[in-house]
Amino acid sequence: MGKTVYIKRQVLDSLLSYARSLHPREGILLLRGKRRGDGWVVEEVVIPPLATYGYGFSAFPLSRLPIDFSIIGTAHSHPSGHLAPSNTDLNHFFGSILVIVAPPYESERDVAAFDHEGRRIPLGVIHEP
């Protein structure tokens, strides 16, 4: 199995809804999950403490994060619609993966995953009963 980010349907829906509710500001979330073979499974999202949501940026103070080894990366929205990481995104990369959500925030077509070098990673959706 090659590198793939698997995301639970409920988590994907949460990302889309969160981004839609903050639009046109950027939103940011922590991704909780685990390694799976050569990839990752995203099982939950967490709102980072003291997060800032602005027009063209989002951030949180790393010093305020609890020690949590289940955090595998971050997700944030790009209200501009650009579904790729910026240089700033890559310079402030946290964890193993970065997920970006862009308008119209409707389906997995509006979501992309990346590694720390900005390379796109295939995204799979886990449909649970």
Write down the catalytic residue from 26, 43, 44, 128.
Answer: 26
Q: What is the spatial distance between Cα 89 and Cα 127, in angstroms, rounded to a whole number? A: 29
Closest to 15 measured CA to CA, from 125, 120, 128: 125
Give the tens place of pLDDT for each residue, 7-62.
999 999 999 999 999 999 999 999 999 998 889 999 999 999 988 898 988 888 88
Q: What is the spatial distance between Cα 127 and Cα 66, in angstroms, rounded to a whole number? A: 30
Quickly state the pLDDT bin for 2 (edges 50, 70, 90).
Answer: low
Q: Look up 117 and say whether it is catalytic.
A: no
pTM score: 0.93
Contact by Cβ (8 Å): 71, 60: no
CA dist 20 → 11, 14, 74, 99, 106 (Å): 14, 10, 17, 15, 9
Give the tens place of pLDDT for each residue, 65-78.
888 999 999 999 99
Neighbours of 75 (CB within 10 A): 25
Contact by Cβ (8 Å): 51, 65: no
Q: Structural domains in the chain?
A: 5-126 (3.40.140.10)
Burial of 42 (0-12, 13-18, 19+ CB in 10 A): buried
